[in-house]
Structures are given as structure tokens and as C-alpha cells.
Structure 1
């Protein structure tokens, strides 16, 4: 009987997970990293309208998570932008929501990720929290027999090697993987598939800082507090200006501020990364890649900045491949680790 391997990447902006594997094709899905708490199971409340969410019971509360969670949430949008995010009930609710949407009753190996700077201190606790039986609501549970936490950009490195058919040659190359997320700006220096810990790190300078800075600029322009972060995010991704007071607001006026934040993040990385001429691959991934590409290119003008398809899912796709390879090795050796 084959092992069931799945992966989930709970980010501060979006939760990405493996929805299915069909004929060897890894399929991904995501939902906003918002966990809306309630004292009662939402479907039992009067006037409840069915939506694409699940209610995960944790510590006496029901956390509603899923693609339609914004229909449930109030106007206050709490974000878990802190170093202990992976130990919060919101993180657990998001992870269990992803487990529910995978629609498998038991997982032999679940691969999850952490920012580079958090891996050493949070790895053991996260693996322990993700292993075992998980109540996903509605009287259903998912059993995770073993969990494995790896650095988030390490997943992207695996995904890059697979997409560019470099698994056979990358062992002789040095790579820099850059992963701008909602909260953190991560980078990982690797020799082959092994990462160099004393050159890899992360700083809290991500997309959320850009969105907040742009909101402040808009507020100053219109003379009233503006905090529609989702509208700014949508405008940046689509290139369409947000509508404010029934008029299109020229968001390009605030882009120099966003670029300045990207430059700050890249500058922090450059203090750790030396001898850039030795990199055969500089790989930019993550949902915020497009906002940091100009600053990264400015820092590495003599390199071609490499990308992958659907960069938001690069980490979780790589987690899945790494997990399947890990499970295959255990099967070959007859290890009981996944039994």
C-alpha cells in the first residue's frame, strides 16, 4: 500500500495546500489566511448562508476558514504577523482547514514550512503539533502519522529543479532562492540541494509592509483614514486602480514607496549574501515576487532572475516533491518511521 504524502504552507497572507495528485500532476489550491472565531458552529446560527468554509473547533471556539471566509469576517481583520505565528490557534485552524479540503482521512507524511529564521527554534514544536489526530469539524477527523517541517524557500528550490529539469545538474551549482511573503522576506543560499545556514535568513519586511505604506499614502492624499488593504492588493496584482469615493485612484503615485520597501528588504539580504558572482541560479518565488523583482534585479544586474510558473505555489509544490522522495527512501530501506 502506498504512503499518502501531502503538503501545506500556512503563510501570513494565504494558506496553500496540495488539493490532489492526478496521474503524477500535483494540483494546488489556496485560501486567505484568515481564521474568524465564533462561540458557536456557524452553520447552526440563524440566517447562515452556505459558503466555502469549514468551522474548526479549537479551545472552545469555532474558527471559520476557507475561500469564502471574508463573507464571515467582520470589518476588523486580525493578522498574525509575529514570530510565534506557527504556535497560534489561528495557524492550527488554517492548517486543519487545509487538511479538511484535501479530503483524505489519513496522511502518512505531512510536509509543512517555516520562515528560514524560525526553522531552528520552531521546527520541533510545529512537527509535534501537526502530528496526530486533528478535529476538522463536522464530526470528522484527519490522522497525520508523521510531520516534517522544512524551510519555505527550500521547497521552492525543489520546485525550480523539477520545473527546469535540473535535478541531475543542480548538485554542482550554487543557488540563491528569494521568497517575498506577506510578513517575511526569506532567502536561502544552497549548494546543490543543501542549504547554507549561515548565509540564509529572513527579515520582517514583506508585502504587508508595502500595502500598509501605500494605505498611509492614500490616507494622506484623500484626507481621511484609508485601510482597504484587500483593494490595494487587488489593484497591484491586476494593474487596475482602486475606486475611492467613486473615482479611480492613481495607485502608481504610491509605487515609489513600495519599491523603497523592496529595496530595504533586498539590502538586508545583501549583508548576508557575498560573492554573488558564484550563483548559477537566482530564483525569485512567492506571491509577492512581482513586487520585488525590480529591486532584486537592481541588486544583481549581471544575473538573469529566474522564475517558476505559479510562483505563489512554488514552496508547497516543492514540499510535496520532497515529501514523496523522503517517503520513497523510507520504503526502500524498510524504515518503520511512517508506520
Structure 2
């Protein structure tokens, strides 16, 4: 019997997960980290068009999650911006939603991530919560034999080393991984693959702060509350003006606000880095990489800043690789494989 390894990264903005493996290609998918609660299973209710969501039972409630959650949720979107997020029913619903969409019969090793500042505090409890049987909707369950929680940017380092064929050499190098996410701005200093704890940390200064401050500036300008964070986020990423009151709105005047958040986060991180001249790799990943790149380059002007393809999935792809390596050496079955029924290989 062959091992099934899977990885999930439940972030405050998006839930990313591995759907399958084909050779060196690790296929991923994601959906917004929004869990819409109800007292009944909404998947059984009639609808004009079937949504791409699943309804997950957690405790006494059902939580609808998935790519089309915007069609189910009301206008209030609670964000789990607190350090107990991993203990919340919303986190469990998002995690189980990802498990449901993987379409595997069971998981021998599940790798999940934590912000750097929470790793020591939450690792054991999260691994325990992830292990065992999970209800994934429609009367289905999936069993996770073992779970492994790692620092989120550590996954990105593994992915970077594999993508750039540095797995053999990176063990002797010192690296800085920077991961601006939705809620947290994480950074990780490693010697080889080993974490340098005293120089690694995370702060609550991510893309959600950028969007909130931009929304406040737009609200003042148009004279009415404006909270379409998704529209602001899309505009920042594409350069295309959001439509407000049926007209394109020029956000360029507010960009210094966005840049100030990045500068504050990077400036705080810089104080933790004791010997920047010794860093051989500086790797920028995460959903907010595009906005934080300028501030990172200003903080390390003599370094080349490395990026990876699809930075949103850098962590979860690295989790998958780390999990496969762990499985080969620590689990009973000899060779990790994706060739289980429904595994997508």
C-alpha cells in the first residue's frame, strides 16, 4: 500500500491546497478563506445554479466554503484576524473543505502551516486536531493518519530550492524567506533548512491592513463608506481602476498609503536580521509579494531578491515536498505516491 501525502495552507485570505502530483508538477487550487455558517446543510437546498462549494459540519453548525462562496455569503465577511484562528470552527471548516476537494480516500500524512510567531505555541495542538477522522460533507469522512505543522515560509524555502535545483547546495547556505500574507507578514532566517528562531518572526501587518487603509481613504474621498476590499485588491494587482458609482476610480493618489504599510513591515523585520551581509538567498513569496517587493529591495539594496512562479502557492508546494521527504524516511510504507484511487496522478 502506497502513501498519500497532501498539504493545505489555510491563510486569512485564501485556502491553498494540493490537488495532485504528476512527476515534478505539484498541482494546486485555492478558494477564499470565508466560511458561511448556517444551521442546516445548504447543499441539500434547491438552487437555480449549483455553486462550487461544499457544506462542512463543524460542531452544531454547517459551514459553506469553496470557490463560489461569494454567491452564498452575505455582505458581512468576518476575517479571522487573531492568534486563535487555528482553533476556530471556521479554520476547521476551511481545512475540511480543502480535504473534500482533494478527492482522495484517506491521507497518510497531512502537512499544514502556521505563522512563524505561533509555531512553538500552536504546533502540537494543531497536529493533534488535524489527525483522525474528518467529516467533509454529504455524509463523507476522510481519515488523516498523521499531521505535520511547519512554519509557513519554510515551505517556500523548500519550494524555491527545488524549483532552482538548489536542494544539494542550500544546506550550507543562509537564507531569508519573506512571506507577506493577508493577515501576517512572516519572515524566516534559515541556516540550510534549519530555522534560526531568534531572527525569525511574524507581525500582524499584511495585505488586510493595506486594503483597510485604502478603503478608508476612498471612503473619505467619495463621502460614503466603501468596503469592497476585493475590488481594491484586484485593482492593486492588475492596475485596472475599480468601478465606484458606475465610474472608474483612480486609486493612484492612495498608493503611498499601501506602500507605507509595506515599509513599516519590512522596517520591523530588518531590525531582527543580525547579519544581512551573510544572507545568500532572499526569497519573496506570498499573495502580497507584488506590493512588498519595492520595500524589500530598498531594505536590501545589495542583494538580489529571488521570486518564484505562482508565489501564492509557494508555501503549500513546499509543504508537499517536505511531506514527501518526511514520509520516505519516517513512515512505514516505502515510497510516497499519488497513485491512489482519485488521486489525480
What TM-score range do you get, normalising by the shorter chain? over 0.9
Q: Any idea what the Cα deviations from partners look like across 1:249-292, whole Å, max 9, x if unmatched?
A: 11111110000010000111011112111101000000110010
Question: 1:337 corresponds to which residue?
Answer: none
Separation in 1 of the partners of 2:142 and 2:24? 23
Shift of 1:171: 1.3
Question: 1:54 corresponds to which residue?
Answer: 54
- Within 5 Å, give how 1:212-291 maps onto structure 2: 212-291=212-291
| TM-score with structure 2 setting the length | 0.95
Secondary structure of the residue that 2:322 maps to in structure 1? helix
Shift of 1:46: 4.7
Shift of 1:246: 1.2
- Given that 1:127 and 1:147 are in contact with CA atoms closer than 8 Å, whether structure 2 keeps it comes out as yes
Secondary structure of the residue that 1:179 maps to in structure 2? strand
Separation in 1 of the partners of 2:198 and 2:285? 21
- Within 5 Å, give how 1:7-86 maps onto structure 2: 7-47=7-47, 49-86=49-86
Which structure 2 segments of 5+ residues have no match?
Answer: 335-345
Separation in 1 of the partners of 2:238 and 2:261? 20
| TM-score with structure 1 setting the length | 0.97
Separation in 1 of the partners of 2:213 and 2:75? 20
- Given that 2:16 and 2:313 are in contact with CA atoms closer than 8 Å, whether structure 1 keeps it comes out as yes
Separation in 2 of the partners of 1:251 and 1:61? 40
Separation in 1 of the partners of 2:245 and 2:277? 50
Distance 1:47 1:327, change over 3 A: closer
Secondary structure of the residue that 2:230 maps to in structure 1? helix
Which structure 1 segments of 5+ residues have no match?
Answer: 335-339
Separation in 1 of the partners of 2:73 and 2:183? 21
- Within 5 Å, give how 1:1-339 maps onto structure 2: 1-47=1-47, 49-331=49-331
Shift of 1:8: 0.2
- Given that 1:185 and 1:203 are in contact with CA atoms closer than 8 Å, whether structure 2 keeps it comes out as yes
Relative CO higher for 1 or 2, CA cutoff 8 Å, sep ≥ 6?
2
Shift of 1:295: 0.4
Shift of 1:333: 9.9
RMSD: 1.2
Q: Any idea what the Cα deviations from partners look like across 1:67-117, whole Å, max 9, x if unmatched?
A: 001100001001100001010000000000000000012000000000000
Secondary structure of the residue that 2:178 maps to in structure 1? strand
